[in-house]
Amino acid sequence: MSEPLFSNDSNKLDPAKVLAHMTDPAVLTRWEGTLKEMVEIAEAKLRSELGDVANVPSLARHVVFALCDTLGGSVVYLPRGDTLKRAMRDAAIFRDWRDGGKQPADLVRKYRLANQTIYDIIARQRALHRKREPDLFGTGNNSVH
């Protein structure tokens, strides 16, 4: 018996139908604390970025639904504060270098970091991105030569 006891029907959920009921107060009170907080945070951030646009509540719920649909059931570590800011800065430095063609000297001035720090960040980010690359040739080695 190799069939699962319960079928996974999460791919049958229609986000539009689920989200259509999200304005119902009875449904909103059932959303657990963290989920409701996520919607409120998303709404506040969208309002601060987009202004008082009519579809902000719907956009916020769509974002939270997508996160839940993708990450639901898993334990996820979310960094905060300086760790998050540093990770975002490092990713931006790598994008500027790889996609924007900026030289390390330009990055030193832009991000106000030491030359060696920029080189270290690029090296760490390259290794991180290398791990995520698919093994296209079946060599078992994901590194780029």
In a domain, 141, yes or no: no
- Same structural domain for residues 14 and 65? yes
Higher pLDDT, 94 or 57: 94
Q: Can you give the pLDDT at residue 109?
A: 97
Find the domain containing 22 and state its range.
10-71
In a domain, 76, yes or no: no
Structure tokens at 44: 């506040």
Burial category of 59 from C-beta neighbours within 10 Å (exposed 0-12, middle 13-18, buried 19 and up)? middle
In a domain, 109, yes or no: yes
The model's confidence at residue 26, banded by pLDDT at 50, 70 and 90, is: low
- End residue of a domain, out of 20, 47, 71: 71
DSSP one-letter string for 24-70: SHHHHHHS-HHHHHHHHHHHHHHHHHH-S-TTHHHHHHHHHHHHHHH
Domain total of the chain: 2
- Same structural domain for residues 127 and 96? yes
Q: Can you give the pLDDT at residue 35?
A: 80
In a domain, 139, yes or no: no
Q: Using one digit for the tens of pLDDT, what is the confidence trace for 74-125? A: 888 888 889 999 999 999 999 999 999 999 999 999 999 999 999 999 999 9
pTM for the model stands at: 0.53
Q: Can you give the pLDDT at residue 1?
A: 47
- End residue of a domain, out of 47, 71, 95: 71
In a domain, 140, yes or no: no
